[in-house]
Structure 1
Amino acid sequence: MRMKTLVTALLIFLASLAGAQQRMLVSKGSVHFTSNAPLEVIDASSNALKGILEMPTRKFAFTAAIKSFKGFNSSLQQQHFNENYLESDRYPKAVFKGKIIEKIDFTQDGTYKVRAKGKLSIHGLEQIRIFKVNLKIIEGVVHFDAKFKVPLSDHDISIPQIVHQKIATEIDVAIQGLFEAPQQ
């Protein structure tokens, strides 16, 4: 009986290793946004991007804590971003869950221009998005970068009339980083 338990534990362990080889995690990643309004440009970034890629299915997910964004033009602007616009205590994360549309052989080094389709959740509202992604695979590491626009109205983020000329209604977002196999 003891041998059967040992064999079962070994099989479970080997299965988990095989599953781990099918997944990659973000080892380094960032999200940057720009609000380019008539009277003011606001830039902020987060280096706290987390993510996972399942290679066989091409499914992936990213998340970034709203409070991790730094930059802004003042600390008061950052406070308003968190408290008034993104309500980061109530909605602490931005999440994108999706799938790479085109088939990719992640074992082949090269540069690939693909599209990602999925659901972007910001401020408690999900919207389906499709955007272009640049992938560069070098020795098993997947480098990614993408740029897309996010209309504030799609996520029920309203701008008070008093600052209407200082905050853009559509935000430019850039995401980049590396997917690598998890360390054993």
Structure 2
Amino acid sequence: MIKNIIPLLFLLFPLLGNSQGVLFYTNSGKVNFTSDAPLEVIKASSNSVAGAVKSSDRSFAFSVLVKSFEGFNSSLQRTHFNENYLESDKYPKITFEGKIIEDINLGKDGTYNIRGKGKFSVHGVTQERIIPCKIIVSNGKLSISANFTVFLDDHNIKIPAIVNQKIAEEILVSINIEMIIKK
């Protein structure tokens, strides 16, 4: 997983050198999703969110491999998720890259309610999104949590009519990411 994020980090975040600020990173963030449809509730999660936040300009980049999601109600459901709906061989990653809108000091301990604005890509479709998040900075560590909704239509994810009562049109997503300073 870390091999997939390293090229992204080097493209987005030039070496810090003597610049002010620090780079927080993770390769074990958690993301959960829930599809709460009339006939079935589907839950899955991944503990493989990779990402970085650069304190000097408040930029960020996060990525998770679609195939890293586990859970579901059956192995067949997971197979359909990867092969038919998210098409993970064709679109292997979900990404969110952008900047924190608020002018906060990520070097100062505290709790911050912020908005991350950037390009959110799922299933080959990129959309500009603003996602409210809570950030806690404590003892050189960064904790990020957020809850938001992803609409399948927004990302051209088609659900066959035969199962449309089993898969929700809007997916509830929650993230919990713990980051440390890159040394």
TM-score between the two structures when normalised by the length of structure 2 = 0.88
CA RMSD of aligned residues (A): 1.5
Query: Mapping of 1:77-156 within 5 angstroms?
Result: 77-156=77-156
Query: Mapping of 1:160-175 within 5 angstroms?
Result: 160-175=160-175
Aligned AA for 1:178? E
SS of residue matched to 1:83? helix
Aligned AA for 2:98? G
Aligned AA for 2:176? Q
* Aligned residues of 1:132 and 1:146 also touching (Cα < 8 A): yes
Q: Distance in 1 between matches of 2:165 and 2:27?
A: 38
* Aligned residues of 2:21 and 2:56 also touching (Cα < 8 A): no
SS of residue matched to 2:117? strand
> Deviation of residue 104 (structure 1)?
1.1
User: Which residue pairs with 1:75 in the alignment?
Assistant: 75
Q: Distance in 2 between matches of 1:146 and 1:160?
A: 30
Q: Figure out how many residues of one structure are paired with residues of the other and give that number.
A: 169
Distance 1:71 1:106, change over 3 A: same
Q: Distance in 2 between matches of 1:40 and 1:101?
A: 37
Listed as ranges, the gaps of 5+ residues in structure 1 are 1-14
- Bigger Cα Rg: 1
SS of residue matched to 2:102? coil
Q: Deviations over 1:60-100 (max 9, x none)?
A: 01000000000000000000000000000000000000111
Question: Does the alignment pair 1:41 with 2:53?
Answer: no
Aligned AA for 2:96? F
> Deviation of residue 28 (structure 1)?
3.4
Q: Distance in 2 between matches of 1:42 and 1:28?
A: 22
* Aligned residues of 1:21 and 1:181 also touching (Cα < 8 A): no
SS of residue matched to 2:48? coil
Q: Distance in 2 between matches of 1:18 and 1:78?
A: 46
Query: Mapping of 1:13-32 within 5 angstroms?
Result: 17-18=17-18, 22-26=22-26, 28-32=28-32
Listed as ranges, the gaps of 5+ residues in structure 2 are 1-14
Q: Deviations over 1:103-153 (max 9, x none)?
A: 111121111101111111000000111111001111111110011000000
Aligned AA for 2:150? V
Q: Distance in 2 between matches of 1:16 and 1:58?
A: 13
Q: Deviations over 1:22-75 (max 9, x none)?
A: 211125311100000000000000001000111111010100000000000000
* Aligned residues of 1:20 and 1:181 also touching (Cα < 8 A): no
Of Structure 1 and Structure 2, the greater helix share is in 1
